[in-house]
Structure 1
Amino acid sequence: MLKLAILGFLHDRPLHGYQLRRHLAALTGHVRPISDGTLYPAIKRLESDGLLVRETEPGSAAAPRHTLHLTDAGRAALLDRLRTPDDLDISDENRWFTVLAFLRHLHGEPNAQAAVLRRRLAFLSEPASFFYDGERPVGAEEMDDPFRRGILLIARATTGAELTWLRATLLDLENGLPS
């Protein structure tokens, strides 16, 4: 997820590390804060893989700043990852939101965008629950615990909204309308 987000934000525009960390924190929120100890090694790996480069620019006060720029190889890696996200990118909500944040970069490829959305639609269409009675999923109506019932009702509402959006967006993509 981190690699995808870094490449996605740098596709938008060059950023220095601090800006990138702020963008990442805004996308992932409080759930998965990004520390310097995680971000900078990831940047170094992407740089050594030839997916991004650092360019030195004058600082606003004194010290020069290193701005990160996406390379052509980085752009290609991002687009490949968006075309074929991992199964976990489809099933994990936080990772899915990262894919969605940058899926627009496949502009001009509505079939590729639709294929990704269809994978998420198929995942959400499978019966699931957070809680089970043996092998049988337990629904909100059967739940005695008001807090667990709340989890299930919130998840149902969220999933319903996402399914509505997915179906409408797929129709738009299939009909050549801007999504």
Structure 2
Amino acid sequence: MLDLAVLGFLHEAPLHGYELRTRIARLTGHARVISHGTLYPAIKRMERAGLLRRESQPGAAAAPRHMLSLTEDGERALQDVLREPDEPFITDENRWFTLLAFLRHLPDPAAQADVLSRRLAFLEEPSSFFYQGDRPLRAEDVDDPFRRGVLTIARATSRAERAWLADTLTGLRAQQS
């Protein structure tokens, strides 16, 4: 998820590390705070892999700033992740939102539709946070008001997302015609 956010934000514009961290925190911070000890080793790893380049620029004070930008390999890596995201990007809501934030950078509407179709198929599978044996429980099946709340909120969110996915897929398919 962190690599995708780095690639996605740097696709949009070169950034220095602080600004990159701020943008990632705004996107994912409600779920996972991004510390310096997480971000900077990831940046160094991606730089060694040839996905990023670092250029020193004069800072506002005395210290120079290190601006980060994507290399051609970084652009290809972003396109690869967007075109063929690993399963956790489809099934995990926080990773899904990170993927969705950058899916517009995938220029092919058919490829975008493929990704959205995978998410829709996942959402249409019966599931629950709570089970009785192998049977998924619905809000109506649960006496505990707090668990009922979890299930009620999840059902409403899932309905809204499925409706958005259906509308967006219709629009993407119309672009292909």
Query: What TM-score bracket applies, with the shorter chain setting the length?
Result: over 0.9
The residue correspondences of 1:115-126 to structure 2 (distance < 5 A) are 115-126=114-125
SS in 2 for 1:117: helix
In structure 2, the partner of 1:137 is: 136
Query: Which blocks of at least 5 consecutive residues in structure 2 are unaligned?
Result: none
Query: What is the correspondence of 1:67-86 to structure 2 with a 5 Å cutoff?
Result: 67-86=67-86
Match of residue 32 from structure 2: 32
CA distance in 2, matches of 1:16, 1:64: 10
* Mapped partners of 2:100, 2:173: distance in 1: 18
Per the alignment, residue 175 of structure 2 pairs with 176
Partners of 1:84 and 1:154 lie apart in 2 by 29
User: Which whole-Å CA distance do the structure 2 matches of 1:134 and 1:176 have between them?
Assistant: 45
Residue identity matched to 2:93: E
For 1:142 and 1:120, the matched residues in 2 are separated by 26
User: Which residue of structure 1 lines up, in the alignment, with residue 42 of structure 2?
Assistant: 42
Question: Offset at 1:62?
Answer: 1.5
Q: 1: CA distance between counterparts of 2:73 and 2:129?
A: 40
| Aligned-partner Cα distance in 2 for 1:30–1:110 | 30
Runs of 4+ in structure 1 off by over 6 angstroms are none
Structure 1 unaligned runs (5+)? Answer: none
Partner SS state of residue 54, structure 1: strand
Matches within 5 A, 1:145-164: 145-164=144-163
Shift of 1:159: 0.5
Deviations 1:11-60 (Å, cap 9, x if unpaired)?
00000110011001000022100011110000001000000000000101
Per-residue deviation at 1:155?
0.3
- CA deviation after TM superposition for structure 1 residue 134, in Å: 1.2
Is 2:22 aligned against 1:19? no
3-state secondary structure, aligned to 2:30: helix
Aligned partners of 1:129, 1:81: CA distance in 2, in Å?
28
1 CA distance for matches of 2:167 and 2:115? 14
TM-score, L = length of structure 2 = 0.98
Q: Partners in 2 of 1:18 and 1:67 — Cα distance?
A: 10
What CA distance in whole angstroms lies between the structure 2 residues aligned with 1:157 and 1:82?
27
User: Within 2, Cα distance between the matches of 1:29 and 1:165?
Assistant: 24
1:98-117 equivalent positions in 2, closer than 5 A:
98-107=98-107, 109-117=108-116
Aligned-pair Cα RMSD in Å = 0.8
The alignment status of 1:7 with 2:7, answered yes or no, reads yes
**% of aligned pairs identical?**
66
